[in-house]
A and B are shown apart, each in its own frame.
Chain A
Amino acid sequence: DQQVKQNSPSLSVQEGRISILNCDYTNSMFDYFLWYKKYPAEGPTFLISISSIKDKNEDGRFTVFLNKSAKHLSLHIVPSQPGDSAVYFCAASAPTGGSYIPTFGRGTSLIVHP
């Protein structure tokens, strides 16, 4: 029973174009959302986050949008670069017991073609 769903296992984009990675969640108690990026044989690295009090957070080429009513968030990468090719994990946290443990999705593999 997945609480965080990334329904697209893979995405292929041309260099310079926009990449849009989507994530849906079911737990209305989630109030903080994170995106992690993972290269092969490496651990996930934090990319960008957003609190539920916001609907947009931007950091350079990366923007995360949050639609609380739809329980949906998306990560936009503009412009996409070949070095962005990686697996992207969406994660969400709820303040349960103060541990802030993130619940992860299954990841979306992004391939950016030169």
Chain B
Amino acid sequence: EAGVTQFPSHSVIEKGQTVTLRCDPISGHDNLYWYRRVMGKEIKFLLHFVKESKQDESGMPNNRFLAERTGGTYSTLKVQPAELEDSGVYFCASSQAVSYNEQFFGPGTRLTVL
């Protein structure tokens, strides 16, 4: 069974540009989560989808971030326009149920904003 995949693995952009990150969850997992880790700091929650609906987006830093999950399958996270402080590793995770079951994480996308 394929795990959570993320694309691209790395992205280097200039301040003011737009970047779109993609996450493909494990097949059959209705729950999809986005997290971000700024270097050396904690992994911070951004938002949670249940199928195509946003269940919790309390962690989204500001309106420059837009997440979508059309059709309840893969998800995209767009940053527009990117700022220097957006640099970090963006992780996607998925789970089958909303419970204390552990979430399965993807390898992350390392975003560098210059």
| Chain A interface residues (CB < 8 Å from chain B) | 2, 4, 9, 32, 34, 36, 41-46, 49, 51, 89, 93, 97-107
The answer to whether A105 and B93 touch (CB under 8 A), given A43-B4, A43-B107, is no
User: Which B residues are CB-close (under 8 A) to A36?
Assistant: 102, 105
Interchain CB contact (< 8 A) of B42 among A49, A98, A101, A105:
A105
Binding site for A on B (CB under 8 A): 4, 9, 33, 35, 40-45, 48, 55-56, 91, 93, 98-100, 102-108
Task: Specify which of B41, B45, B102, B106 lies most central, judged by the most chain A CB atoms within 10 Å of its CB.
Answer: B102
Q: Are the C-beta atoms of B40 and A106 separated by less than 8 Å?
A: yes
11 CB < 8 A contacts A-B: A2-B42, A32-B100, A41-B107, A41-B108, A42-B108, A43-B91, A51-B100, A89-B42, A99-B48, A101-B33, A107-B43
Known: A41-B107, A45-B104. 8 other contacts (CB 8 A): A36-B102, A42-B107, A43-B108, A44-B91, A44-B105, A46-B103, A104-B35, A107-B42
CA distance A51 to B101 in the complex (A): 12
Q: Which residues of B contact A2 (CB under 8 A)?
A: 42
Query: Are A49 and B100 in touch, CB under 8 angstroms?
Result: yes
B102 with A49: CB separation less than 8 A: yes
Query: Contact: B98 with A89, CB < 8 Å?
Result: no
- Alpha-carbon distance between A97 and B9 when the two chains are bound, in angstroms: 32
Residues from chain B with a CB closer than 8 A to the CB of A101 are 33, 45, 48, 56
